[in-house]
Structure formats: structure tokens, C-alpha cells
Amino acid sequence: MPAYALLAIAIIAEVLATSALKASMSFTRLGPSVIVIVGYSVAFWLLTHVVRTMAVGVAYAIWSGAGIVLVTLLAAFFYRQRPDLPAVIGIALIIAGVVIIQLYSRLDGQ
């Protein structure tokens, strides 16, 4: 499977795990706690495969940027945690940084 597909699945697993952290109530609720543990395990296992062919810095920039955006969206929807204007501006800058790295970076996976 191509590295970008694995990275996308890893990001989804990480976002689901992170979003379940609040619901786990400090690991006192079994269902959300299992989602956290399995989600992070899958995410990091997939990330180890991604960095075999993709530069760690590029992979992590995409991972963290997409994760921030998606977790923020899920938190707004499920937990009613709406980002304020400075947060939206900061997230936009993160997205811009990831796009710049992706478009202009000369890093390779070796």
C-alpha cells in the first residue's frame, strides 16, 4: 500500500484515539479506553511503515497538521468545543506550513 494511504489510515486512527481521550474519563470507562489504546497502537504501527519511504519530518508534519484540524472539528461537533478566532488563525497557519513542506521540501525518505 502506498505511504500516503497508510499515513491517511494512521491519521484517522490517531484522531479517533485522541477524540476518545475525553470520553475515557481518565481510562475509567472501558469502551473509550479501548478505542484510545487500539487507535494509538494502530496509528504508530502504521507510521513506522510510512517512514520507511517518506521523510520523518514530512510524515510528521502531515500527521500532526491533519490531526490538529480533524481533532478540532470532531471536538467542535461532539464536545461543543468551538475554536475562537486566534485558534482558527493558528490552525490555518499550521495547514499553510504543511502545504509548504509538501510542495517545496526536498526531503526524501532515505
* 101 close to 61: Cβ distance less than 8 angstroms: yes
Average of per-residue pLDDT across 2-10: 96
Question: Model confidence over 59-109: pLDDT tens digits?
Answer: 998 999 999 999 999 999 999 999 999 999 999 999 998 888 888 877 655
At residue 106, the pLDDT reads: 74
Q: What is the pTM of this model?
A: 0.87
Dist CA 108 CA 57 (whole Å): 10
CB atoms within 10 A of CB 104: 7
